[in-house]
Structure 1
Amino acid sequence: MLSLRQFGIHLKNSRTYLWIAFMLFVVGFVLGMVNAEFLQRVVIDQLKGLQEVSGKLSQSTNPELSFFIFIFFNNAIKGVLMIYLGILAGVIPVFFLLVNGMVLGYLIEAQAAHGNNLADLIFKGLLPHGIIEIPAIIIASAFGIKFGIVSLKGLGRKITGKAERGAREWSVLAKSSLNVSFWIVILLLIAAIIESTLTFHLVKG
């Protein structure tokens, strides 16, 4: 049930939703790039909060471990929640993708506007862990969107008297979500290890 091969099959069977999730993230990223001033007012408090947390974690007796615990649990909980909260018509994972894309776009645009080195930001601060973390977030949100679509279809079939077919589709998706959730957590675990060690020292140094 938790095999990597099965995870690959689930991804293959959900290609359409993966593309939808990817495009939503890209749309969010572009909006973040072109509306940096507007987003500054929207996300500045959130970023300040993260900076405060980062400062406290940096002052702990073991910063790497503290960052790892915070990053992993924060991302893993959100990743799994995006899958199952998608049951609400897929609205929450859609919003999550757009916001995360916008924040990333805003950060890059803001760095460029201040004349900072974008190569350092991308290759030292984002790419080492982001190459795993961002796809994991997109995959989790894609399955959340799929949950939402299947839920809406199930509701429609219940109204039209075809609830049995919807129940079967729901059962298959629910079982596959366990496998997907497991591998999302594994991917985010690897990303958290990289971010709390390699990325941490690249940015710090």
Structure 2
Amino acid sequence: MFKFSTFIKDIASIKRTMMLSTLLFVIGILIGWVGTDSIAQFINQQIDGIRVISQGLSESDNPQWSFFVFIFLNNSIKGVMIIFLGIFLGILPIIFLMVNGMVLGYLVHHLSLQGESMFEVIVKGLLPHGIIEIPAIIIACAFGLRLGTMVWISMGVGSKEKRANVGQQWRSFFKRVGPISMWIVILLLVAAIIESTLTFWLMQ
């Protein structure tokens, strides 16, 4: 039940939702990259908040440990919560994907305009931990969207066949949501370790 292979099968069982989650994240990146003034103002507020937290962590007695604890708790709590927040018709996972994509797209574009090396930004600053963290967040949002879809079906939206099987879908989802959450937390733990060590060292 808690095997990683079962987790992979769970992901494969919602491949359409996974594709949608990935698409929403990519759209968010593109919107952030283009960035109108209103979007830029919103994203800058998010980045300013992160900057304040980052400065505080940098001034602690053990910056690397402080960064690790903050990154892991922040990402894992959000990663698990976004699954269950999908119960609100799947709206919050969509917003979460779009906003995170927008911040990433805007930040990379902004740094490139400032003359920063894209190799430094992407390969050193993003790729080492992002190759695990980003898919983990997309997976969590996909299961949140799946939960939202089941709510819509329960409300009478969808085919007769889907509505007939919705009870079984609810039972299956809540049977698997524990192991799914566990593996998402494990992936985000690994990403946090990499970000607070390898990424931290590469970006010094």
Structure 2 residues not aligned, in runs of 5+: none
Name 2:67's counterpart in structure 1: 67
For residue 39 of structure 1, report the CA deviation from its aligned partner: 2.6
Mapped to 2, the partners of 1:135 and 1:165 lie a distance apart of: 29
Q: Are 2:110 and 1:76 equivalent residues in the alignment? A: no
User: Normalization by structure 1: what TM-score?
Assistant: 0.93
Structure 1: 4+ residue segments shifted above 4 A: none
Work out the percentage of aligned pairs sharing the same amino acid.
45
For residue 182 of structure 1, report the CA deviation from its aligned partner: 0.6
Deviations 1:100-157 (A, max 9, x none): 1111000011011111111101111111100000000000000000000011112218
For residue 36 of structure 1, report the CA deviation from its aligned partner: 5.4
For residue 189 of structure 1, report the CA deviation from its aligned partner: 0.1
Mapped to 1, the partners of 2:30 and 2:49 lie a distance apart of: 24
Name 2:152's counterpart in structure 1: 152
Mapped to 2, the partners of 1:42 and 1:138 lie a distance apart of: 22
Written as runs of structure 1 = structure 2, the 5 A alignment for 1:9-24 is 9-24=9-24
**DSSP-derived class of the 1:156 partner:** coil
Task: Give 2:14's aligned amino acid.
Answer: S
Alpha carbons of structure 1 residues 121 and 36: separation in structure 2 relative to 1, 3 Å: farther
- Range 35-44 or range 190-199, more displaced: 35-44
User: Normalization by structure 2: what TM-score?
Assistant: 0.94
Give the number of aligned pairs.
Answer: 201
Name 1:56's counterpart in structure 2: 56
Name 1:179's counterpart in structure 2: 179
**Is the 2:153–2:163 contact (alpha carbons within 8 Å) kept by the matching residues of 1?**
no
**DSSP-derived class of the 2:115 partner:** coil
For residue 179 of structure 1, report the CA deviation from its aligned partner: 1.5
Deviations 1:132-187 (A, max 9, x none): 00000000000000000011112218xx9x97742221010111211211100000
Structure 1 residues not aligned, in runs of 5+: none
